[in-house]
A and B are shown apart, each in its own frame.
Chain A
Amino acid sequence: MSNYNLIEAYLDNEMSAEERRNFEQQLSENSELKQELGFQQELVAGIQEARRMELKAMLDAVSISGGSSVGGSALVGKIVVGLMLVGAITAGIYYLPGQEAVREYLPVADNHSEESYDDLVNLPAEEVESVEDAEEQAEPADATSSSSQVDQVTEEEPMTEVKVKEESPVVTKPNIRTPETIAAFDREEEALDSMHVPGNTRTEEKEPSMATIDVTVDNTRKKYTFHYQLKGGKLFLYGDFSSGLYEILEFNARKGKTLFLYFDGKYYDLNDDQERIVKLVPVKEKSLIEKLEEVRRD
């Protein structure tokens, strides 16, 4: 058999144990054969890589109408307003007239209860109802579908579990103006999968498309008294923000994401890609302030 055929048989696992031993013996003596084997292995690795890339490209071409900003255009005209209270979590949904949808969420402490939910957000009665409806629908289904196998896996993983109950309220489609945001997703099934997401609970309990910004307040650095930094999709606020409410206003438009911070009666523009820690500078432009005021009030 030629070297080529030998190598081919070796790589394709078509050798008997004895043939294999012989071949490996030859390899240690014959550097040319060894080099040729290396080359053939590179070829196989190349074929595998090409196929991997081909499959990835195929997936990449699938349009995700789910509304995550990876898609970009799916977010046109959508405004997300995040209203944050230090150490607090819960979620609610609001509207803006026209094609803009505004969502708000009030984060509450980890051990938040249904009561704090109602206390913190003045949801119109009908919205509260629809939220509860969704919970009722989702829960029984959840109980029946979680198989013992999944439970086992859940136990093995030391990760925090996503609270399915928290997510399902957002499933209610009537609450969201941009229909394609969720329509293409089988949210009920998604909610039923008792998956667990590592990381802190605060981020997870937000509605998925809003989980784009994670805020950390750091009051321990003396050098930074009123500064911020946006790194890896996370917002870090340095200084004392305990004297009042701060709110993050997030605008998703065709050209990208714009963030504003509202604190103590002033608005601050947050540069989307601010890796360095810089001082927060209030927005001075009157028309912009008016616009922001309008959005925030809604």
Chain B
Amino acid sequence: MKDKEIFERICSGDEKTLEYLYKKYYRMMTKMVISNSGSEQEAKDIYQDALVVFWQKAVSGNLVLTSKISTYIYSICQNLWRKELDRKKRLTNEEKDSIEYVEHDKQERAKIINKCIHQLGDTCRKILMYYYFDGLSMQDIADQLGFANTNTAKTKKYKCKKKLDELVKSQYTESDFLD
């Protein structure tokens, strides 16, 4: 598949093409991390993160590709890996405990939110993810999920968000996050 075709498919939200891309450059991208003192697991993680960034930008229509896809993803990998190396360096220099303590509450809340998202139905979950992460328009969402029109998509998105809101709030109360 040529770059142009890959890019068009990804922009249209074709996850299979993302998988194809993942396979295609796996070795090239992970090698960069591994040869820069990363483990294979870290390399894989960075590469996956980079592809997700690429996906998000492409799907939301915020990306005009001026170089090859591989060049673009490679530079994301480099940036992410630099950041990760910096983070690791900081972590060994600072007091780890204090950071973890502050993060703890936030992490607990994130866990609850995540749990609630997965309690939503498939359609609701997809609408919210497509809207808030993929940055799809209501028209795109209506097309992807087979709704009659954008109004249906809008109403559904509103309802799903409200439902998530209520779910999380009830769980927060149980866990004493909201007093």
A199 touches B36 (CB 8 A): yes
Chain A minimum-CB-distance residue to B117: A50
Interface centre among A55, A59, A150 (most CB of B within 10 A): A59
A208 touches B27 (CB 8 A): yes
Q: Verify if A51 is at the interface (C-beta below 8 Å from B).
A: yes
In whole angstroms, what is the CA distance A225 to B67 when docked?
Answer: 50
Give the Cβ gap from B83 to chain A, nearest Cβ, in Å.
Answer: 14
Give the Cβ gap from A257 to chain B, nearest Cβ, in Å.
Answer: 10
Q: Which B residues are CB-close (under 8 A) to A4?
A: 162, 165
A232 touches B37 (CB 8 A): yes
Give the Cβ gap from A174 to chain B, nearest Cβ, in Å.
Answer: 19
B32 touches A69 (CB 8 A): no
Q: Verify if A44 is at the interface (C-beta below 8 Å from B).
A: yes
A59 touches B28 (CB 8 A): no
Q: Which of A185-219 touch B at CB < 8 Å?
A: 185-186, 189-190, 193, 195, 197-200, 203-204, 208-209, 211-212, 214
Which of these, A60, A186, A198, contacts B78 with CB under 8 Å? A198
Which of these, B15, B24, B44, B114, contacts A185 with CB under 8 Å? B24
Given A47-B132, A198-B78, A62 and B25 touching (CB < 8 A)?
no
Q: Which B residues are CB-close (under 8 A) to A208?
A: 27-28, 31
Q: Which of A104-156 touch B at CB < 8 Å?
A: 147, 149-150, 152-153
Residue-wise, chain B 56-72 has the 8 Å CB interface mask toward A (1 for contact) of 00000000001110110
B23 touches A190 (CB 8 A): no
Q: Verify if B51 is at the interface (C-beta below 8 Å from A).
A: yes
Q: Which A residues are CB-close (under 8 A) to B169?
A: 39
Q: How many residues of A contact B (CB 8 A)?
A: 56
Which of these, A43, A59, A153, A204, contacts B113 with CB under 8 Å? A43
Q: Verify if B139 is at the interface (C-beta below 8 Å from A).
A: no
Q: Which A residues are CB-close (under 8 A) to B164?
A: 43, 47
Q: Which B residues are CB-close (under 8 A) to A189?
A: 24
A46 touches B40 (CB 8 A): no
Q: Verify if A283 is at the interface (C-beta below 8 Å from B).
A: no
Q: Verify if B109 is at the interface (C-beta below 8 Å from A).
A: yes
B158 touches A62 (CB 8 A): no
Q: Which of B158-172 touch A at CB < 8 Å?
A: 158, 161-162, 164-165, 168-169
Interface residues of A, dominant DSSP = helix
Given A58-B15, A66-B27, A208-B31, A193 and B117 touching (CB < 8 A)?
no
B67 touches A52 (CB 8 A): no
Q: Verify if A233 is at the interface (C-beta below 8 Å from B).
A: yes
Q: Verify if A68 is at the interface (C-beta below 8 Å from B).
A: yes
Given A149-B66, A197-B32, A46 and B165 touching (CB < 8 A)?
no
Given A59-B18, A150-B67, A184-B23, A52 and B52 touching (CB < 8 A)?
yes
Q: Verify if B48 is at the interface (C-beta below 8 Å from A).
A: yes
Q: Which A residues are CB-close (under 8 A) to B15?
A: 55, 58
A47 touches B117 (CB 8 A): yes
Which of these, A54, A186, A203, A204, contacts B24 with CB under 8 Å? A186
Give the Cβ gap from A129 to chain B, nearest Cβ, in Å.
Answer: 25
Give the B-binding residues of A (Cβ under 8 A): 4, 8, 39-40, 42-56, 58-60, 62, 64, 66, 68-70, 147, 149-150, 152-153, 157, 159, 184-186, 189-190, 193, 195, 197-200, 203-204, 208-209, 211-212, 214, 232-234
Give the A-binding residues of B (Cβ under 8 A): 15, 18-19, 22-28, 30-32, 34-41, 43-44, 48-49, 51-52, 55, 66-68, 70-71, 74-75, 78, 109-110, 113-114, 117-118, 125, 128-129, 132-134, 158, 161-162, 164-165, 168-169
- What are some 28 contacts across the A-B interface (CB < 8 A)? A4-B162, A42-B109, A42-B110, A43-B161, A46-B110, A46-B113, A48-B129, A48-B132, A49-B114, A50-B117, A51-B133, A54-B129, A59-B52, A62-B23, A66-B23, A68-B27, A69-B40, A70-B40, A149-B67, A152-B67, A157-B75, A185-B26, A190-B27, A198-B32, A211-B34, A211-B35, A232-B38, A233-B37
